Structure formats: C-alpha cells, structure tokens
Amino acid sequence: MNSRYSYQSAPYGQQQQQQFQPGRQHTMRPAGGPAGFVGAGPNPRPPQGADPQLWNWFITVDEDRSGQITATELQRALVNGNWSAFDLDTTKMLMGIFDVDHSGSISFNEFAGLWKYIADWQNVFRHFDSDNSGTIEGHELANALRQFGYNLSPQLINLIATKYSALPVSTAPGAPPPGISFDRFVRACVAIKTLTEAFQRLDTDRDGWIQINYDTFLSTMLSAP
C-alpha cells in the first residue's frame, strides 16, 4: 500500500488491552464519568454465586421482572456522563454483541459481560478525553484510533467525528460540549473495527486495494453498527 495512511500498524485493541487491563473490575458511576446505569434500589436476593451489586443492577434494569432485559429497558437504564440517554443504535449494537443466544433480550449472565464491557470502555474514554470535557473531539479521536492501530487521514477523522457527534455545536448556555459522547464513541470504534476487518478479509494480498461487486459493498457497509 503506497499511502501513508494504513490500517496495518497494529491489531485493533492491542494497546487498549495493554494499557487498560480489561480483566479488572470497575465501578460504574453515571455522575462524574462518561457513562453508567441509572441508580439501583433494593432488590431480591441474587442467584447463588452471583455478584450482589451486579444482580441489583440487573433487577433494576429489568423493569418488568421477566428475567430478561430488552433493548428498550437497557436504553432507559444507560446514561452518558452528562445524563443524556444512550443512543438507540448503540444500545442495539450492545444487545447484538451480548445476546449470544439470539433471543432478542439478554439474561443475567449476558448482562454480566455487558456490564464489564461498558466499564472497560469507560476507562478508555476517560483516558482519551484529555481535557475532561465529557466528549471526544477530533484530535482526541485521532489519538485514540492511532493507538488502536488505525492510521487514518485527517479527512477520514473529520468524517468520523462529524458522523458520530451527538448534536450540532451550540454556544448557548448549558449546551452540551462539542464532540462525540461516550455511547457514540464506543459505536464509532466498533464500526471502524468491523469495517476494517471486513476490508482485510477481502484484501487478500494486503496491498490496500480491493475489487468488489455492488452486493459485497452493500453487505460490508451494512454490517457496520
């Protein structure tokens, strides 16, 4: 590949895994952090061997006490650091990742994986939100993607930042800061990962160029969150 912009510098997530130790447990706090769950109240006793705090979160999110969490329940429970609701597309993406039995909802065991996934992404978000604004701006996004192994052009960085910014920039008092909120940052990174992996599967000679038909192009693009 002749371009100085490349997807081949490092595997996605390599530096994240080294730096943020995904195996650690984290406490989720919606206030003062990039995201979290709306507060939990008193709940029934957890199943044997379950983490009591995690069970409390699950019961709180499971509003109809069905033993399963739907996308609607999950979206109502998740908030960004500025208390804005999670983006529905991000919520559906999370459901798709952790609904391993394809039931359309997530069980307690699936929820445990989701909880840890969000907690790990919180650490990533805090690290790259260098000005502690609560959003990821263009230069912070470029830094994050570069450390994930994606050396993208400034034009692509700007396109991603524009696409995933939650709201138009406003100077009105109390308006959200410019940039990408936590939920959309996660979705943007997963989208870049998904599309890059799809491209790499098609780029069999690793020269940075592929030739595909229309159906393959649409299938590849629609596979991204």
Q: What is the CATH number of the domain that holds 114?
A: 1.10.238.10
**Does position 113 have pLDDT exceeding 80, yes or no?**
yes
Q: Which pTM does this prediction carry?
A: 0.75
Question: Once rounded to an integer, what is the mean pLDDT over residues 46-55?
Answer: 82
Tell whether 14 is covered by a domain: no
Tell whether 10 is covered by a domain: no
**16 or 49: which leads in pLDDT:** 49
Q: What pLDDT does 169 receive?
A: 53
Q: What pLDDT does 35 receive?
A: 60
Q: From CA 57, how far away is CA 131, in angstroms rounded? A: 30
Q: From CA 81, how far away is CA 144, in angstroms rounded? A: 19
Tell whether 124 is covered by a domain: yes
Tell whether 138 is covered by a domain: yes
What's the pLDDT band for 4 if we cut at 50, 70, 90?
very low
Question: Once rounded to an integer, what is the mean pLDDT over residues 37-60?
Answer: 73
Range of the domain at 176: 52-223
**Does position 153 have pLDDT exceeding 90, yes or no?**
yes
What's the pLDDT band for 222 if we cut at 50, 70, 90?
confident
Tell whether 69 is covered by a domain: yes
Axis-axis angle for helices 182-202, 214-222 (nearest 10): 150
Q: From CA 73, how far away is CA 22, in angstroms rounded? A: 26
Tell whether 104 is covered by a domain: yes
**Does position 3 have pLDDT exceeding 50, yes or no?**
no
Q: How many domains does the chain have?
A: 1
Question: Once rounded to an integer, what is the mean pLDDT over residues 194-218?
Answer: 92
Q: How many CB atoms lie within 10 A of CB 68?
A: 18
Q: What pLDDT does 199 receive?
A: 92
What's the pLDDT band for 53 if we cut at 50, 70, 90?
confident
Tell whether 29 is covered by a domain: no
